[in-house]
Amino acid sequence: METQLSSDNGYAGNNTSSEENLKRQKEIDEWLPITSSRNAKWWYSAFHNVTAMVGAGVLSLPYALSELGWGPGVAVLVLSWIITLYTLWQMVEMHEMVPGKRFDRYHELGQYAFGEKLGLYIVVPQQLIVEVGVCIVYMVTGGKSLEKFHDTVCSTCKQIKLTYFIMIFASVHFVLSHLPNFNSISGVSLAAAVMSLSYSTIAWGASVAKSIQPEVQYGYKAKTAAGTVFNFFSGLGDIAFAYAGHNVVLEIQATIPSTPEKPSKGPMWKGIIVAYIVVALCYFPVALIGYWMFGNSIEDNILISLEKPAWLIAMANIFVVIHVIGSYQIYAMPVFDMIETVLVKKLNFRPSTTLRFFVRNFYVAFTMFIAITFPFFGGLLGFFGGFAFAPTTYFLPCIIWLAIYKPKKFGLSWWTNWICIVFGVCLMVLSPIGGLRQIILQAKEYEFYS
């Protein structure tokens, strides 16, 4: 396929030019990861959403509860579940609100609501921070879980640096990242969704078996008022991180076939309901039982607190590794789509396997390098959680909804959206403060590439 639209002989007329444009556009859409395959079933939506939502964040929920305390912790956890389900419904509804057009990507919806340029400036930076941030955090999580598996299975073996475990985890992605689109990673995603339910069940089941620890305490662990407040903010970020699936929801819906009689929102919503039931089955037992059993002595990853039985903890860590392999791919796919769109549409590169090979390998190498350099797991969750996850998950869909549908002032829809916006803005402002403080505290004792 020619990279330039015009030949040296000039145009054969406007019609030929527009036909060539349309043909080129169609070829590019059939090559790009988000729009190349539209034959997904409703259950693809279910396990893609479970994989995107139930990440490693679930393992830090008991720790988040220890920072927030029983009352505020349970309230924020339940409110987040309700609000994010509502904002997901809004995004599914808005996917095809313009007859004959589909908003296949989050930024396309933003452009429709706020204008071509402003929509891009509002959505793309936030979406990139979330997706690249998740990929980096999952590199760290995958490496740490492999390290925990190694140390549990072979306690007498020589200690290996975390850096090498992150490299081992990344090596899988140098292969998997070359799967062309969302439907091609459906097998990986299904395995990841099953694993998330499995390791969540192990986490709370093993906590119950361990029973309430002697001298368990539920008070705030920080010795100073300032420490308690900063920890509280960080806990908010951990919970915000746990509900981050919205950043890929339109891209997942884009893979479902749609006709005027059978729009894609039907099967998509069906899948989301199943996914949210699974989310509740994972999040609430892990958070509540984990905190109940260990109190404020809980680690920022509950599997670290559960040291025995060794075989079960080793198995749970391998489940986490398999899960974050799938999650990484789900969050990387829209980033691949963005980079490849710019290269092919703006810079006129030819859509090819070679281009894809270089783009995707570079991205995996970049996320691996950042993960090796800054593996502050708990702090990263809190920081990214508020900074970017809260806007795209909790209140940006509400702002877009208000901008497009303009519901009646002081009506039910108007109030509901504004409550979500206020809650989300509070999360966005407060949680990065706690996360950044945790990163600073951990960085003091950290040696690079140790």
**Residue 22: inside a domain:** no
Q: What pLDDT was estimated at residue 449?
A: 63
Cα–Cα distance between 28 and 344 in angstroms, integer?
Answer: 8
The CATH number for 182's domain is 1.20.1740.10
**Residue 9: inside a domain:** no
**Residue 20: inside a domain:** no
**Residue 127: inside a domain:** yes
Q: What pLDDT was estimated at residue 5?
A: 40
What total of structural domains would you count in the chain? 1
**pTM, entire model:** 0.85
Q: What pLDDT was estimated at residue 31?
A: 85
Cα–Cα distance between 77 and 282 in angstroms, integer?
Answer: 12
DSSP annotation string for 366-396: HHHHHHHH---HHHHHHHHIIIIIHIIIIIH
- Amino acid identity of residue 233, one-letter, is F
- Amino acid identity of residue 371, one-letter, is A
Cα–Cα distance between 117 and 119 in angstroms, integer?
Answer: 5
Question: What is the token pair recorded at 253?
Answer: 């819906």
**Residue 244: inside a domain:** yes
Instruction: Find the domain containing 425 and state its range.
Output: 35-444
**Residue 105: inside a domain:** yes
**Residue 7: inside a domain:** no
Q: What pLDDT was estimated at residue 2?
A: 41
The ranges of the chain with pLDDT < 70 are 1-16, 56, 376-386, 445-450
Q: What pLDDT was estimated at residue 414?
A: 93
Q: Coil, helix or strand for 299?
A: coil
User: Do the Cβ atoms of 148 and 317 come closer than 8 Å?
Assistant: yes
**Residue 329: inside a domain:** yes
Q: For residue 109, what are the contacts with CB-CB under 8 A and spacing of at least 6?
A: 91, 94, 95, 103, 119, 123, 250, 400
223-229-230 Cα angle (round to 5): 95
- Amino acid identity of residue 268, one-letter, is M
Q: Angle at which helices 162-176 and 310-341 pack, to 10 degrees?
A: 50
Q: What pLDDT was estimated at residue 247?
A: 82
- Amino acid identity of residue 201, one-letter, is T
Q: What pLDDT was estimated at residue 15?
A: 61
